[in-house]
Amino acid sequence: MRIVAGSCKGARISAPRGLDTRPTGDRVREAAFSLIGPVDGASVLDLFAGSGAMGLEAMSRGASRAVFVESDRDACRTIQRNLEKLRLTGAAVLCQDALRALAAEAAAARQYDLVLADPPYGLFRTVQTPLATYLPAVLAPDGLVVVETGARDEPELGPLEQRTSRRYGSARITLFEHGVG
């Protein structure tokens, strides 16, 4: 895998070994960021971070800080190694359950300009309700939530409004934002 654009464009990043992590491919990341638009100065929350590819891409493209949340210890070490290799600063890696971390961020009233959520495809239906519960609280007023699911899933996140949803092979990228008014 490589960083698609920004200050680290072309740099190789590692993914955790094994089948437990499904890194977002380069083409899907490129398509997602063309939908997201500029992220200069953004604060990013990368839930179910896996390899950290999406959050690393955001930082390469100018995001000022990122919090990577992943429960798998090997994946957490991989994210940390990728951050060091790319010499990206302003990031924290939380090795804990993504929903627990999200609830804590909401309780602490922390907000993010960009929230990336890429749960294991088979778990999406299980985590959809907790995501819909906590994401509105952590999303900055003009922020975006980007959810990656299997192509057949059509996510809904309660009070957040869907901006767009696109299929890319076996993946679906859906963007959400706060409703107007």
Q: What is the C-alpha to C-alpha distance for residues 129 and 131, in angstroms, rounded to an integer?
A: 5
Residues 26-177: name the CATH superfamily: Vaccinia Virus protein VP39 (3.40.50.150)
- Judge whether 67 and 48 are in contact, CB under 8 Å: no
The 10 Å CB-count burial string (b at 16+, else e) for 30-64 is ebbbeebeebeebbbbbbbbbbbbbbbbbbbbebe
The predicted pLDDT at position 121 comes to: 85
Q: What is the C-alpha to C-alpha distance for residues 98 and 120, in angstroms, rounded to an integer?
A: 12
How many C-alpha atoms does 119 have within 13 Å on its Cβ side?
Answer: 16
The predicted pLDDT at position 134 comes to: 97
Q: What is the C-alpha to C-alpha distance for residues 125 and 107, in angstroms, rounded to an integer?
A: 23
How many C-alpha atoms does 13 have within 13 Å on its Cβ side?
Answer: 35
Question: What string of pLDDT tens digits covers the 181 residues of the chain?
Answer: 899 999 999 999 998 776 455 567 778 889 999 999 999 999 999 999 999 999 999 999 999 999 999 999 999 999 999 999 999 999 999 999 999 999 999 999 999 999 999 998 889 999 999 999 999 999 999 999 999 999 999 999 989 999 999 999 889 999 999 987 5
Provide the whole-model pTM.
0.94
The predicted pLDDT at position 100 comes to: 97
Per domain, the residue ranges of the chain are: 26-177
Q: What is the C-alpha to C-alpha distance for residues 93 and 73, in angstroms, rounded to an integer?
A: 11
Sign of the alpha-carbon dihedral angle for 44, 115, 101, 109: positive
The predicted pLDDT at position 179 comes to: 82
The predicted pLDDT at position 17 comes to: 72
How many C-alpha atoms does 111 have within 13 Å on its Cβ side?
Answer: 10
The predicted pLDDT at position 97 comes to: 96
The predicted pLDDT at position 141 comes to: 96
